[in-house]
Structure formats: C-alpha cells, structure tokens
Amino acid sequence: MPLVRRLARPLLATVFVVGGIDTLRHPKAVTPAAEDVVKPVVENVDGIRSTEQLVTIDAAVKVVAGTALAFGYFPRLSALALAGSLVPTTIAGHAFWNEQEPAAREQQLLHFLKNASMLGGLILAAVDTHGKPSLGWRLRRTPAAVKRSANEARLEAALASKDVTHSIKDAATAVRHALPV
C-alpha cells in the first residue's frame, strides 16, 4: 500500500474511533442531541427500542469501521459505513441553524463544516481503487474481452488449420517427387 494511504487512512479514521469509544462509554451524553434526528427510526424500525440504543449502535459502527479503515481492511466499505454514520451525527450534533447565540452558532458551523470535509475524505476513500479498475468497470468490459479472446482464438485456429493444410500438401508433394514413376 502506498505511503499516502498508510498515512491518510489512519488520520481520517482516528476521529471516528476516538469519538465512537467515548460515545460507547457515555451514550447518555449524546442521546438528547440525537433524539430529534433519530426519532422516526426509533418509531418505525422493529428491534430499535430507544435513541440510546441507536446511538450505541452508531458508536460501534464508528469504532469497527474506523479501525478497519485505519488498518486498511475493507477500506472502501469501511469509508462508506463511516460516511453513512457521519451524516445523521452531523445533523444531530452540529445543527448550527438552531443556535440563537452568534458565538455558539459560529462554533457549530465550524464543526458542521469540519464534518462535511471529513465526509469528502470518506467519499474519496470509498471510491479509491488503488489505481486498479473498479469491479463495475471490469464487469462491463468482461463480455467484450471474452468476445475478443474468442475471435483471436478462432483466427489462430484458422491460421493453424491453413498451416496444417499447407504442411500436408507440401508433404504429399515431397512424397510424390520421391517416389519413382
């Protein structure tokens, strides 16, 4: 893995791992801020019983996906999971539009923009193929590559067949000239 990825991924992932661990240790501290954003999920998704449970799940996703991204395990999937987790976290935690006090509004705007920047980095990490063609690109090209290979094989077989035919004719001519008449 190139040096840039070895440095960038852990740097990008650190905030998620540290924040996730802190939220796992103290979920009640962030639950009130998340209440308005996740209320529809809690009300409509079976198995989710409370905002605190959803906050804990989100924190676990951040720790697991952040650690995976930092170590380069499933980096595209990890970045995608973190991006999906970051959006509701940003809306819930940094709603600068709800702040009345100018200093608090400015502070929340700064955090909102920082998270938007991290989202940009996660999107880049999610589409990073290490310079290799993506799976989608390879799948779209596969039928054409198979057809091209089949045509090349057919051409080689035809040329080989002509070579064999010429060799047989040459051998027959040589035998005819070698035999007395």
Q: What is the mean pLDDT of residues 103-120?
A: 93
Q: Which residue has the higher pLDDT, 71 or 2?
A: 71
**Rounded to whole angstroms, how far apart are CA atoms 37 and 52?**
12
Cβ-Cβ contacts under 8 Å for 19 (sequence gap 6 or more): 59, 62
Q: Which residue has the higher pLDDT, 68 or 33?
A: 68
Q: What is the mean pLDDT of residues 146-171?
A: 75
Angle at 26 between CA 21 and CA 31, to 5 degrees: 110
User: In the Cβ-directed half-sphere of 93, how many Cα atoms lie within 13 Å?
Assistant: 19
Residues 101/151, Cβ–Cβ less than 8 Å: no
- pLDDT value at position 22? 95
Share of the chain above pLDDT 90, in %: 43
Closest among 66, 76, 69, 73 to 132, alpha carbons compared: 76
Q: What is the mean pLDDT of residues 8-23?
A: 94
- pLDDT value at position 137? 72
- Span 35-84, pLDDT tens digits: 888 888 888 888 888 888 989 999 999 999 999 999 999 999 999 999 99
- pLDDT value at position 103? 93
Q: What is the mean pLDDT of residues 90-106?
A: 90
What are the phi and psi torsion angles at 180 (to 5°)? -75, 145
State the residue for tokens 């938007």.
116
Q: How far is CA 127 from CA 11, 89, 160, 168, in A?
A: 18, 22, 45, 57
